[in-house]
């Protein structure tokens, strides 16, 4: 087992050398220099034998030439020079390094494996390595980043990814849903430290509450299983296994040189250990958003509040697909719904249809409160409309009558009134969510058309999904993890 402190050193450097830095934005050296400067990392030292100064920072020809201590080296030089540079790092006493450069074990046929072995031999356990062929570390608290434009704010989710691309995609896409990260580690070929080492570390890390992982293979299956067992008891571990099919596994060999291993074996490991398994980028994002936001939950009985009849039918189908139950409401709840939803076309059973085209603002809040108070309900899923096209369609609906005398308002008045209506609905949901201790999830088809609306809900801790299917799948996974914990 790698010591906690050895890995912790990656996330707490005082001085970072970027070997292969350049002022241009081209190539890895430029990306990392710019990302760290943008984050405001205080002590960056560019290393480049051809420059005296880069973007206002004094540059040195080698890491050995830097006066004083260097804590962390980011290496972005051509592959054949990497072993020499790592040798310099060892000599300089650099404890940890990230190797961005590709062209190692993923190119087995072209001598890449031998180059990787050489570099590992040179490092000699004295300089611990992330990579090669990866993006390294994003840790906003320490002002480390591999992505220009990434958030400086720290959160409680941490991610380990064997793909640099997915490390970037997942960060960007979940950020849109208000997720903030504590640490992201893009591990690439994992010649020294691998996903298992970081998983073990994150299990101990008090700042990490949820762990997500994209993995194509691990070096030591048995060790991975043991670590998973321990960590999963303490915090949720969401895993997307790349190469879970024969076709994918063949592709993985070309990507990170991983032997993806038997899918059946992985599946059985996931089941044993309470891991939350996801099977696509969307499922990964949806699961992270759920675990990032929702309060603990004790059962699989959900209530669904839709705005139209077709949705009561298809959301019930989706519930059944995900193993969630639509228990019928208590008599009291039914009675209250009947007295609240009085216009024709509303449906008072579970799933409820509150008729979003015909109801007055404020009704959504009332209905949600009634439903969530029912003892037969463990979580509530609410459909909310946003999106200009839907709004336009709603122009002809009676919600307008809440604000006008019944005369047809002009287009700009209508827009303003509808904006007001949407704001009211959203504020209603946010207020209701504060009052209750059961998970609430919002479904909003065409949510992308209204990013500010979605952001408002997300920032209030309410996950928003584009479809019932995605919402219910994520919720079901969230519940499964809590069931796993209860059985321990």
Site for a second copy in 135-194 (CB under 8 A): 147-149, 161-166, 168-169, 172-173, 175
x/- string (CB under 8 A) for a second copy, residues 423-462?
Answer: ----------------------xx-xx-------------
Nearer to a second copy, 292 or 414 (CB): 414
Cα dihedral 333/338/341/344 (nearest 10): 140
**Residue from 42, 56, 67, 310 binding a second copy (CB under 8 A):** 310
As measured in angstroms, the least distance from the Cβ of 86 to a second copy is 18
Residue (226 or 376) nearer to a second copy, CB: 376
216 or 336: whose CB is closer to a second copy?
216
Shortest spacing between CB 4 and a second copy, in angstroms: 28
Distance from the Cα of residue 134 to its chain's centroid: 18
List the one residue out of 52, 89, 47 whose CA is nearest residue 71. Answer: 89
Which residues 6+ apart lie within 8 Å of 81 measured at CB? Answer: none
Q: Which of residues 218-247 bind a second copy (CB under 8 A)?
A: 240, 242-247
User: Angle 402-406-412 (CA atoms, 0-180°, nearest 5)?
Assistant: 80
Cα separation, 487 vs 476, in Å, equals 17
Q: Is the peptide bond between 52 and the residue preceding it cis, with omega within 30 degrees of 0?
A: no
The terminus-to-terminus CA distance of the chain in angstroms comes to: 25
Is 20 a binder of a second copy (CB under 8 A)? no
Assign 443 to helix, strand or coil.
strand
Element (H, E) at 382: strand 379-383
For residues 457 and 422, the answer to whether their CB atoms sit within 8 Å is no
Output the smallest distance, CB 132 to a second copy, in A: 11
**Token pair listed for 237:** 């571990």
Q: Is 471 in the site for a second copy (CB under 8 A)?
A: no
Return the number of other C-beta atoms located less than 10 Å from residue 415's C-beta: 15
**Interface with a second copy by CB under 8 A: which range of 3-11, 82-90, 250-258, 289-297?**
250-258
Residue 47 β-bridge partners: 19, 60
| CB nearer to a second copy: pick between 3 and 349 | 349
Residue closer to a second copy (CB basis): 193 or 260? 260
Q: For 134, what's the count of Cα atoms within 13 Å in the CB-facing half-sphere?
A: 32
Q: How far is the CB of 357 from a second copy (least distance, A)?
A: 8
Cα atoms found within 13 Å of the Cα of residue 454, Cβ hemisphere only: 22
Quick one: which of 21, 23, 157, 218 contacts a second copy (CB under 8 A)? Answer: 23
Cβ–Cβ under 8 Å, residues 39 and 140: yes
Closer to a second copy at the Cβ: 149 or 296? 149
In a 3-state reduction of DSSP, which class is residue 132?
coil
Q: What percent of the residues of the chain are helix, what percent strand, and what percent coil, each to the nearest 5?
A: 50, 15, 35
Best CA proximity match to 472, nearest among 292, 323, 251, 260? 323
Residue from 155, 178, 307, 463 in contact with a second copy (CB under 8 A): 307
Q: Closest distance between a second copy and the C-beta of residue 375, in Å? A: 20
Kindly tell me which of 90 and 449 has the beta carbon lying closer to a second copy.
449
Among 2, 251, 430, 455, binds a second copy (CB under 8 A): 251
Tokens coding 380: 């509530």
Footprint of a second copy on 377-416 (CB under 8 A): 389-390, 392-393, 395-398, 400-401, 406-409, 414
Stretch that binds a second copy, among 64-72, 194-202, 226-234, 312-320 (CB under 8 A): 312-320
**Minimal distance, residue 256 CB to a second copy, in Å:** 7
Residue numbers 48-87 binding a second copy by CB under 8 A: 79
Are the C-beta atoms of residues 329 and 291 closer than 8 Å to each other?
Answer: no
* Residue 342 lies near a second copy (rule: CB under 8 A): no
**What would the x/- binding string for a second copy be over residues 91 to 110, using CB under 8 A?**
-----------xx--xx---
Piece in contact with a second copy (CB under 8 A), picked from 115-123, 193-201, 204-212, 464-472: 464-472
Residues in 253-292 at the binding interface with a second copy, rule: CB under 8 A: 254-256, 279-282
- In the complex, minimum distance from the CB of residue 28 to a second copy, in angstroms, rounded to a whole number: 8
Residues 25-54 touching a second copy, rule: CB under 8 A, are 25-27, 30-31, 34-35
Per the CB < 8 A criterion, the answer to whether 324 and 488 are in contact is no
Length of the chain: 488
Nearer to a second copy, 121 or 165 (CB): 165
**331 Cα distance to chain centroid:** 40
Q: In what order do the strands lie in the sheet with 16-19?
A: 44-47, 16-19, 72-75, 96-99, 128-130
Size of the site for a second copy (CB under 8 A): 94
Binding to a second copy by residue 299, rule CB under 8 A?
A: no
């Amino acid at each position: 087992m790698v010591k906690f402190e050895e890995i912790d050193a990656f996330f707490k450097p005082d001085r970072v050398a970027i070997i292969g830095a350049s002022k241009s934005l081209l190539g890895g050296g430029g990306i990392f220099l710019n990302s760290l400067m943008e984050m405001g990392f205080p002590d960056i030292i560019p290393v480049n034998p051809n420059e005296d100064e880069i973007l206002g920072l004094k540059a040195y020809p080698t890491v050995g030439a830097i006066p004083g201590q260097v804590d962390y080296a980011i290496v972005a030089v051509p592959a054949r020079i990497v072993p020499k540079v790592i040798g310099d790092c060892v000599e300089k006493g650099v404890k940890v390094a990230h190797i961005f450069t590709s062209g190692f074990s993923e190119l087995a046929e072209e001598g890449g494996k031998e180059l990787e072995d050489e570099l590992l031999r040179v490092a000699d356990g004295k300089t611990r390595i992330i990579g090669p062929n990866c993006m390294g570390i994003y840790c906003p608290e320490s002002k480390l980043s591999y992505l220009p434009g990434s958030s400086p704010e720290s959160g409680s989710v941490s991610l380990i990814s064997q793909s640099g691309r997915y490390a970037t995609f997942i960060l960007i896409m979940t950020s849109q849903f208000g997720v903030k990260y504590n640490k992201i580690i893009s591990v690439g070929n994992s010649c020294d430290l691998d996903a298992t080492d970081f998983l073990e570390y994150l299990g101990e890390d008090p700042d990490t509450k949820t762990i997500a992982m994209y993995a194509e293979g691990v070096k030591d299956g048995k060790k991975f299983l043991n670590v998973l067992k321990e960590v999963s008891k303490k915090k949720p571990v969401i895993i997307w296994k790349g190469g879970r099919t024969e076709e994918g596994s063949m592709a993985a060999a070309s990507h990170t040189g991983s032997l993806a291993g038997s899918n059946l074996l992985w599946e059985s490991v996931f089941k044993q250990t309470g891991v939350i398994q996801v099977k696509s980028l969307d499922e990964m994002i949806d699961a992270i958003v759920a675990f990032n936001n929702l309060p603990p939950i004790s059962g699989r009985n959900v209530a669904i509040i839709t705005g139209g009849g077709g949705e009561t039918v298809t959301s019930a189908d989706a519930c059944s697909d995900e193993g969630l139950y639509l228990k019928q409401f208590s008599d009291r709840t039914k009675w209250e719904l009947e007295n609240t939803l009085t216009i024709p076309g509303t449906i008072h059973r579970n799933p409820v249809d509150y008729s979003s085209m015909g109801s007055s603002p404020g009704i959504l809040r009332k209905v949600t409160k009634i439903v969530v108070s029912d003892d037969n309900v463990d979580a509530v899923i609410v459909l909310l409309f946003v999106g200009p096209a839907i709004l336009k369609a709603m122009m002809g609906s009676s919600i307008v009558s809440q604000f006008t005398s019944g005369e047809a308002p002009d287009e700009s008045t209508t827009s303003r009134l509808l904006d007001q209506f949407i704001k009211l609905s959203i504020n209603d949901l946010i207020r209701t969510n504060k009052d209750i201790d059961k998970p609430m999830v919002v479904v909003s088809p065409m949510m992308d058309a209204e990013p500010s609306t979605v952001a408002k809900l997300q920032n209030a801790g309410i996950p928003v999904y584009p479809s019932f299917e995605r919402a219910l799948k994520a919720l079901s996974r969230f519940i499964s993890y809590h069931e796993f914990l209860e059985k321990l």
